[in-house]
């Protein structure tokens, strides 16, 4: 159970995973949510190229990346992969567009997409990391 707020280590680990997963399929958005009716928070990865026909393969890639990256602050079983047209994906993409220069955006205690949430964090647009 997630008793406390999302911490920097989880945010950083989620960003590493999202950047690597983005090489597999371009992400529309990446974000953390703790729904009011759930005990845990989840990292959501979303792409316009994902749907029910290829989501199983995407979860296989997620597990492969988790085994390679070995991120101690990220449980791969707390990652949800959703289609780009899902209401949560649309809400996250809208938030990124609304705040294009943000380094990330925290929010909570509101409705997000079609879900009431206690805590959330949307990553900024995933741009290539400077070498």
Residue 116 lies in a domain: yes
Residue 28 lies in a domain: yes
Q: What angle do CA 59, 61, 21 make, to 5 degrees?
A: 100
- Using the 8-state DSSP alphabet, how is residue 109 labeled? S
Question: Per-residue pLDDT for 111 more than 80?
Answer: yes
DSSP 37-82: T-SS-EEEEEETT--TTTHHHHHHHHHHHHHHH--TT--GGGEEEE
Residue 131 lies in a domain: no
Residue 1 lies in a domain: no
Residue 83 lies in a domain: yes
- Using the 8-state DSSP alphabet, how is residue 11 labeled? H
Output phi, psi for 30, to 5 deg. Answer: -140, 135
Q: Is 20 exposed, middle or buried (0-12, 13-18, 19+ CB in 10 A)?
A: middle
Q: What's the predicted TM-score (pTM) here?
A: 0.90
pLDDT in tens, 59-87: 999 999 999 999 999 999 999 999 999 99
How many domains are there within the chain?
Answer: 1
pLDDT for residue 7: 87
pLDDT for residue 1: 44
Residue 58 lies in a domain: yes
Residue 3 lies in a domain: no
| pLDDT, greater one: 98 or 27 | 27
Which structural domain range is residue 85 located in? 8-122
Q: How many CA atoms does the CB half-sphere of 29 hold within 13 Å?
A: 25
Residue 130 lies in a domain: no
**CATH code of residue 43:** 3.30.460
pLDDT for residue 106: 86
């Amino acid at each position: 159970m997630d008793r406390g707020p999302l911490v920097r280590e989880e945010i950083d680990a989620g960003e590493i995973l999202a950047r690597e997963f983005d090489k597999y399929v371009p992400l529309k958005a990446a974000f953390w949510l703790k729904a009011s009716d759930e005990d845990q928070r989840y990292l959501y990865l979303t792409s316009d190229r994902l749907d029910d026909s290829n989501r199983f393969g995407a979860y296989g890639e997620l597990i492969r990346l988790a085994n390679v990256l070995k991120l101690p602050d990220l449980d791969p079983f707390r990652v949800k992969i959703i289609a780009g047209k899902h209401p949560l994906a649309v809400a996250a993409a809208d938030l990124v567009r609304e705040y294009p220069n943000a380094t990330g955006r925290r929010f909570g205690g509101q409705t997000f997409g079609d879900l009431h949430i206690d805590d959330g964090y949307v990553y900024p647009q995933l741009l290539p990391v400077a070498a």
